[in-house]
Amino acid sequence: MLKACLKFLLPPSHHKAHALRRQIEWTLPMGTNIICHLKDKFKIKNKKRWSQIMYMNYLLKFKHKELTNRGNYNLENTYLLALDGDMDFRPEAVTMLLDLMKKNIKTGAVCGRIHPLGSGLMKWYQSFEYAIGHWLQKSTEHVIGCVLCSPGCFSLFRASCIHGGIMKTYATVSTSPKDFVQYDQGEDRWLCTLLLQNGYRVAYAAACDAYTCK
C-alpha cells in the first residue's frame, strides 16, 4: 500500500513485537511516522470497536505521556482522524474538519460528506443510504441542533474529549445480545452518544468531501 501511494518502496524503520500486537513503523522522507498495528485476535477481541480501543489507548495514553515528557503538549489541539480502509480524500477535506472543530471547544467530533463511487448494486445502495443519512439527515441535525452520530468511515475526534472516562466506558465488554448490538454493531453511535452525554457536540461539515474507492 505504501509503495502504491508513495511511488517508491520504503523499508520499515522499526519492527517490534508486543504482548498483544505487532508494530511496524515507517519514517517518511520529511520525518512523518506511519505506524501499523497488527492485532492478535486471540488476545484482543475481534470487531472494529476493539481495534479502535487499542489504537486510541495507544495514542491517548502511551504516546500522550511520551510527548508530554518532551515538553509542552496540549490534548485540546490533538485530533484523531478515523477512516475506513476504502476511503479517499484530499488534504483540504481534513482542513475543513479542523476549521469546524476550532469554532467551538465543546465540539468533540466532526464528520464529512461521503460520496460512493463505482458501479453495480452496492454503489446504488450506498448512494441511497448516504443521500438519506448524510446529505439529508445530518445536514438537518447540524442546522437545528446537534448531529447524533459521526460515522467512523471519515470523522475527526478531539483527543481531550474522548480521553479518560469516555474511553473507559467505550471499552465496556458486551455481556448480552442487547449489549452486542449497542456496543459492537453500533460502535460509532455508541461513542457519539457518550460524547453527547458528557456535554460535547457532534458536527457535520457538508463541504468536506470524501469518497469510497472504486
Q: What is the pLDDT, as a whole number, of residue 149? A: 92
Residue 20 lies in a domain: no
Residue 1 lies in a domain: no
Asked if 85 contacts 154 with a C-beta cutoff of 8 angstroms, the reply is: no
Residue 138 lies in a domain: yes
- Structurally, how many domains does the chain consist of? 1
Domain extent at residue 87: 47-212
Task: Name the pLDDT band for 71 (thresholds 50, 70, 90).
Answer: low
Task: Name the pLDDT band for 192 (thresholds 50, 70, 90).
Answer: very high
CA separation (Å) from 46 to 39, 81, 150? 9, 21, 22
Residue 106 lies in a domain: yes
Asked if 16 contacts 22 with a C-beta cutoff of 8 angstroms, the reply is: yes
Alpha carbons 38 and 105: distance in angstroms, whole number:
34
The mean-pLDDT minimum among 29-38, 144-153, 202-211 falls in 29-38
Task: Identify which has the larger pLDDT, 38 or 113.
Answer: 113
Look up the CATH number of the domain holding residue 157: 3.90.550.10
Sign, CA torsion 106/153/165/144: positive
- The set of cell numbers assigned to 3 is 509503495
What does pTM read for this prediction? 0.84
Residue 196 lies in a domain: yes
Instruction: Return phi, psi of residue 89, to 5°.
Output: -155, 165
Residue 15 lies in a domain: no
Residue 163 lies in a domain: yes
Q: What is the pLDDT, as a whole number, of residue 109? A: 96
DSSP 84: -
The mean-pLDDT minimum among 40-49, 169-178, 181-190 falls in 40-49
Name the average pLDDT for the chain. 84
What's the CA angle centered on 173, arms 201 and 161, to 5 degrees?
Answer: 20
Alpha carbons 59 and 66: distance in angstroms, whole number:
10
Average pLDDT over residues 142-152: 90
Residue 100 lies in a domain: yes
